[in-house]
Amino acid sequence: MRRIPCAATLAVCLIAACVSLSAQGGRGGRGESGESASHAPKPFDQVITSTAQKQAGIFTVYTQKDKATDAEHLFFAIPGDQLDKDFLWTSLIARTPFGDGYGGDQVGDHVVRWEQHDDTILLREVDYRMVADPALPVARAVAASNNSNIVMAFPVAAWGPQHEAVIDVTRLYDTEVPEFSPRQRLQARGFDASRSFFDSARAFPENIEVEATQTYTTPLPAPGENTGGRGGRGARTAPPSQTVRMHFSMIKLPDDKMTPRLFDDRVGYFNLTQQDFGRDEPKAPLRTYITRWRLVKKDPGAALSEPVKPIVYYIDPATPVQWRKWVRKGIEDWQPAFESAGFKHAIIAKDAPTPAEDPTWSPQDMRNSMIRWLPSTIENSVGPNIHDPRTGEILNAQVQIYQNVLNLVNDWYFTQVGPLDPRAATLPLPDELSGRLLEYVVAHEVGHTLGFQHNMKSSSEYPVKDLRDPKWLATMGDVATLMDYARFDYVAQPEDHVPPEDLIPKIGPYDKWAVHWGYAPIPGATTPDEEKPTLDSWSREQNQTPWLRFNTDHADGADPGANTEAVGDADAIYATGMGVRNLQRVMAMLVPATTSKSGQPYDRMTEVYAQILGQWTTEMGHVAVIVGGVDSQDKHSDQTGAQFTPEPRARQAAAVAFLNQNAFATPHFLIQPKITRIFEPDGAMAQIRTSQLRILSILMQNQRLERMEQLSAEDGVAAYAPADFLTDVRRGIWSELAQPQVSIDAYRRNLQDAYLGVVRTKLEETGDAMAEPRAQLRAQLATLAGELRAALPHATDAATRAHLQAARDEIAQTLDPKFAPSPAAAGAGRGGRGGLDPLTGPEAGLICWPDIGIYH
């Protein structure tokens, strides 16, 4: 981390000389804080008086007031056996002003050590990204290239009764320490020590928890200065002051390090990487280990045993009462998965104790993992974990559930499977159903805190027709893992009579397999390398069982089976066809579902309609990525077969045909005036245009065109050639030109305008990779110009005629920038829209993949 220069910072720490902190007063300029210019340790009872409050823990912690200033001071008494030990220092924002995040937001974590140098204690930051066995000669060179930074130095104020080093650490908390500062998180510019102070400290057997009030400042901008708003979005500037209550946690890292487990990119675990210079290899290898909790069987010989120490999650007392049982269920849903690894009751949910039950309990205590409930309008949730950077052992988890995520999952459920569940007839959904959806969200986030990455590949590994089979769904679920962004089974139809419970994802076969892979003990193996053959054999089970597969990280977005927000993308054409049927039914439910309460505005109807349109766009996008796609399976070098297999030509052509018939044909079921005019006077046309432009932009991505060019060169006539693809798209979007009488409605004119804008932008791009696609696109425009010329005499109305002429002029100007448009079309723009360019006008930011509210 870059250190922020500060006049109050220790200028230079010369270890060979005695460290002097005399007039500097630490970072933030608190003055001497009881330290003399020529400091020497004093007798213990002169430093820690009878008025001091004492807490025993891994360090003894003393708090007492300075008689001269009446300021509260914090002292650590560090035993000699805790010097030179590794601690994990974590900085959290416990309380924050409105609009600056939420209590529990993590700022960062660092490994630190307390070291003695004569009568000075140094707090050092330790980096484990480069390692070597200390017994090897190369360890010296590694140490010389990886010196630990000094975060702060403290004169020893006194030596304790057991010769503990007693130091005043107040300035560690009431001044700004760059390594632990939330400045970047708050986007602040300054720090005000006069409004910052130490609050409280608690000592525990393994950790110390300290809270401090810190005030950061952001000067008001000078006249005419454009700050860009917070986050660069121009919404608002940062307030002049931001006072936060920081929670600093320091927990002892285990002396008996957990044996790390080597990462395998065929299995979806979060991981850490170390450059190991101690291995006898020509090139120092990167050693990558998974993150996981330490689980040890009480009975090592039993096939199923309780762990010595289970994984415990506490439920935030702020959680509304009606949701607590569902949060508990979301945590303990993972118990069957751990049984597959040989552990019974490995993961447990508990209510947080009341102050009367345990006055020392704190949600910020690093020993307590939490499911936090946050009063946020953000429709999201996150599941981070804190782990030992030496071994990957997970030490703490803080799942954050933002309250309005309930609104998001309500909308998702109604939009995707509302016609399949009578309980979804009105919004909001009943508590029993909303609770089950919350359980699903919590279980997904808990999965992250157990070490699991997203697995977007999973939803494409089940046969799509099985997603309509109640027997299959009862056993296997609609997706093989909770860690996919697959929501609810929109492939199922009302006539399939699928029980509503089986429309919602649950712990699946991949989850159980992955927990076994990462957590099951391997008898006889005592090192990561000894475990590797067994882990490799487990990974190869993916060959026979496709739904055990994980994303191919190096697929680079080419695999259409790794869609987000997809169900049944083993055949996205079929799945989307079924999904659209349900969306048509949902449109019929929209008005009664959102107007069940009298006297309410139509805001909810507007919101849900946008969700329906977004779902339609997303499902069409799942079909678009089939074009130029390659199916992938991550393999290692001694596994047979290719990792990447191009989608068959016929399947790609079928995807384009489906889009021409369903995405680029006007979706009339979405633009019913009797519905849309209830909540808006206009806008439907623009919304449809934006959605179609998104789908078209996905289909025409540069990377897709370049990949198709390469596959065509490699596979010849077996490939779906770019020329054929572009011809099929052009003919579909401009299909009216082939009719004896040419009449083009306003929605189609909008789409055709967007097509011309996309092509023109691609022709203006530079770079050798696009040379061949540009040539193909120019040929398409030339052909289209001829078709427009032939169609003009057959136009049946003035609007169509003007549109065709404007399109001809647009093409001519694209192919020859010196071309001047005809007077008849000069004022009309393309299709009479005044020349709005979909890629540079107000919709410029809307050509990417649609984001309809994805939680992490």
Check residue 577 and give its pLDDT.
98
Q: What is the 3-state secondary structure (H, E, C) of 305-364?
A: ECECCCEEEEECCCCCHHHHHHHHHHHHCCHHHHHCCCECCCEEEEECCCCCCCCCCCCC
| C-alpha to C-alpha distance for 459 and 563, rounded to whole angstroms | 8
**Token duo for residue 55:** 């807490």
**Token duo for residue 84:** 């030179």
The answer to the question of residue 182 being in a domain is yes
Check residue 378 and give its pLDDT.
84
Check residue 438 and give its pLDDT.
98
Q: Residue 476's closest CA among 464, 167, 699?
A: 464
List all residues 6 or more positions away from 702 whose beta carbon is below 8 Å from its beta carbon: 762, 765, 769, 770, 773
Beta bridge mates, 401: 373, 381
**Structure letter (DSSP) for residue 297:** B
Check residue 26 and give its pLDDT.
40
The answer to the question of residue 725 being in a domain is yes
Host domain of residue 207? 44-220+238-252
The answer to the question of residue 264 being in a domain is no
H or E element that contains 130: strand 130-131
**Token duo for residue 416:** 């995707």
The answer to the question of residue 180 being in a domain is yes
Check residue 349 and give its pLDDT.
98
List all residues 6 or more positions away from 633 whose beta carbon is below 8 Å from its beta carbon: 542, 546, 549, 552, 641, 643
| C-alpha to C-alpha distance for 479 and 466, rounded to whole angstroms | 11
Number of domains in the chain: 2
The answer to the question of residue 212 being in a domain is yes
| C-alpha to C-alpha distance for 604 and 613, rounded to whole angstroms | 14
Check residue 131 and give its pLDDT.
63
**Please, what's the largest Cα pairwise distance for the chain?**
104
The answer to the question of residue 552 being in a domain is no
The answer to the question of residue 105 being in a domain is yes
Check residue 835 and give its pLDDT.
34
Check residue 240 and give its pLDDT.
83
- Asked if omega into 667 is within 30° of 0 (cis), the reply is no
| C-alpha to C-alpha distance for 578 and 72, rounded to whole angstroms | 67
DSSP state string for 259-283: PP-B--TTS-B-EEEEEETTSSSSS
Which residues, given as ranges, of the chain have pLDDT below 70?
1-38, 96-104, 129-133, 136, 138-147, 219-239, 277-284, 769, 820-856
Contact between residue 519 and residue 295 where contact means Cβ atoms under 8 Å apart: yes
Q: Tokens 């609810």, residue? A: 488
Own/partner pairs for 53-56, CB < 8 Å, 24+ apart? Answer: 55/201, 55/202, 55/203, 56/203
The answer to the question of residue 817 being in a domain is yes
